[in-house]
């Protein structure tokens, strides 16, 4: 089976749930401790063996491009002041992967954003990593999906069980077990009303898609919220028997909402050797006041 070499990161959304921070700052650049969300995502793709990455941007997202580019002045200053460790980190960023950019001229939904990647992807399977979903774990979530693609040769979605309250805001999947943490996905629905819920399994932030998705997206009409929904296109593959799901390992942080951002910052800070002790001591004092 063909190896997944390309990844698409849609990062052109308006981020209205995180306003006013996102008025001029893409939510994908919001930091978790000292690293923007999108850097964690690019690093995950690279760790999964992906060589070429396309980031879908829009107006005002130039700072994403700057982040992964050389910063000659900064590098000169760091070298000059002997901050070699920081210099290495900054230089490594511009060598992380072969990153290209394309603009989604109108924010018409995630499905429309993915369709902007057609020329970059060509006729091969590719990974999609949602730009506001950071997943941290020892085994990159994207790599887990790529392995399932190599086993089954079908599109694969990253899935997790969510609460009954959350499922009405996400999408709900019809699944049956294949083996271990891998499932057959036979149907899905975006933002289901309570009577339409198929299971509490939802798609969270990652998928590997076969390239026929582009023809399906061309035919996909606006769905929930008036947007061209990727779920509606993936549903065509699912009901055709061409979709698997991986209940991936790793912790997922939703950087598209305020609580998710706070959780990510707390948990990542507590996992960092350089911050853990001081931050934990601070938190212990803080909780006494709650
Ligand atoms: P979301 O639906 O969570 O992003 O899309 P949003 O539209 O920015 O959210 P709110 O509701 O306004 O807060 C998931 C991912 O898809 C990208 C987003 O940038 C995010 O990373 N996206 C979404 C696009 O690239 N284009 C779109 O038209 C919509």
The answer to whether the CB of 26 falls within 8 A of the CB of 19 is: no
Ligand 1 mean position to 130 CA, how many Å? 8
Burial of 253 (0-12, 13-18, 19+ CB in 10 A): buried
**Does the beta carbon of 10 lie inside 6 Å of ligand 1?**
yes
Q: How confident is the model at residue 95 (pLDDT cuts 50, 70, 90)?
A: confident
HSE, side-chain direction, 13 A CA sphere, residue 289: 4
Ligand 1 pocket mutation pick from 110, 171, 231 by most atoms within 8 angstroms of CB: 110
What pLDDT does residue 181 have?
97
Residue 71 lies in a domain: yes
Ligand 1 mean position to 228 CA, how many Å? 11
Rounded to whole angstroms, how far apart are CA atoms 253 and 25?
19
Asked if the model's pLDDT at residue 60 lies above 80, the reply is no
**Does the beta carbon of 113 lie inside 6 Å of ligand 1?**
yes
What is the atom index within ligand 1 of the atom nearest the CA of 56? 25
Residue 232 lies in a domain: yes
**Does the beta carbon of 8 lie inside 6 Å of ligand 1?**
no
Q: How many domains does the chain have?
A: 1
What is the atom index within ligand 1 of the atom nearest the CA of 26? 19
What pLDDT does residue 2 have?
83
Residue 260 lies in a domain: yes
The CATH number given to whatever domain includes residue 164 is: 3.90.550.10
Considering the chain, what percentage of its residues have pLDDT values greater than 90? 84
Closest Cα to atom 3 of ligand 1 = 256
Ligand 1 mean position to 125 CA, how many Å? 22
Give Rg (Cα) of the chain.
Answer: 19
Give pLDDT tens digits for 208-262.
999 999 999 999 999 888 899 999 999 999 999 999 999 999 999 999 999 999 9
pTM of the model as a whole = 0.94
Residue 130 lies in a domain: yes
**Does the beta carbon of 14 lie inside 6 Å of ligand 1?**
yes
**Does the beta carbon of 16 lie inside 6 Å of ligand 1?**
yes
Return mean pLDDT, the chain. Answer: 94
What is the atom index within ligand 1 of the atom nearest the CA of 227? 28
Rounded to whole angstroms, how far apart are CA atoms 169 and 257?
13
Residue 192 lies in a domain: yes
Residue 1 lies in a domain: no
DSSP 235-286: HHHHHTT-EEEEE--SEEEETTSHHHHHHHHHHHHHH-TTTHHHHHHHHHHH
Closest Cα to atom 22 of ligand 1 = 13
What pLDDT does residue 93 have?
84
Rounded to whole angstroms, how far apart are CA atoms 132 and 55?
12
Ligand 1 mean position to 135 CA, how many Å? 17
Closest CA relative to residue 145, chosen from 77, 198, 204, 189: 204
Q: Give the structural domain span for 39.
A: 6-287
Asked if the model's pLDDT at residue 14 lies above 80, the reply is yes
**Does the beta carbon of 256 lie inside 6 Å of ligand 1?**
yes
Asked if the model's pLDDT at residue 138 lies above 80, the reply is yes
Rounded to whole angstroms, how far apart are CA atoms 7 and 27?
19
Ligand 1 mean position to 20 CA, how many Å? 16
Find where tokens 């650049």 sit.
Answer: 29
Residue 165 lies in a domain: yes
Give pLDDT tens digits for 104-118.
999 999 999 999 999
> Lowest-confidence range among 44-48, 56-60, 126-130?
56-60
Residue 241 lies in a domain: yes
Ligand 1 mean position to 27 CA, how many Å? 9
């Amino acid at each position: 089976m063909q190896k997944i070499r390309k990844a698409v990161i849609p990062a052109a959304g308006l981020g209205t749930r995180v306003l006013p921070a996102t008025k001029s700052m893409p939510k994908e650049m919001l930091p978790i401790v000292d690293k923007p969300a999108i850097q964690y995502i690019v690093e995950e793709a690279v760790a999964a063996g992906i060589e070429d990455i396309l980031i879908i941007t829009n107006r005002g997202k130039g700072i994403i491009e700057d982040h992964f580019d050389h910063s000659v002045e900064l590098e000169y200053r760091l070298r000059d002041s002997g901050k070699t460790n920081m210099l290495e980190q900054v230089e490594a960023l511009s060598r992380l992967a072969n990153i290209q950019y394309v603009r989604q001229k109108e924010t018409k939904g995630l499905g429309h954003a993915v369709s902007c990647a057609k020329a970059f992807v060509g006729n091969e399977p590719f990974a999609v990593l949602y730009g506001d979903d950071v997943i941290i774990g020892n085994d990159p979530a994207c790599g887990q999906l790529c392995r399932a693609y190599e086993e089954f040769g079908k599109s694969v979605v990253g899935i997790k069980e969510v609460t009954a309250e959350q499922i009405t805001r996400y999408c709900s999947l019809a699944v049956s077990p294949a083996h271990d943490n891998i499932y057959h996905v036979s149907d899905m629905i975006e933002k289901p009303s309570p009577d339409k819920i198929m299971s509490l399994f939802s798609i969270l932030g990652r998928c590997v898609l076969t390239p026929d998705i582009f023809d399906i997206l061309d035919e996909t009409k606006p769905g929930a919220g008036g947007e061209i929904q990727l779920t509606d296109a993936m549903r065509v593959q699912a009901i055709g028997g061409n979709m698997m799901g991986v209940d991936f390992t790793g912790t997922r942080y939703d950087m598209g909402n305020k609580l998710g951002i706070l959780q990510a910052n707390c948990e990542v800070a507590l996992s960092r050797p350089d911050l853990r002790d001081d931050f934990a001591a601070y938190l212990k004092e803080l909780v006494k006041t709650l």
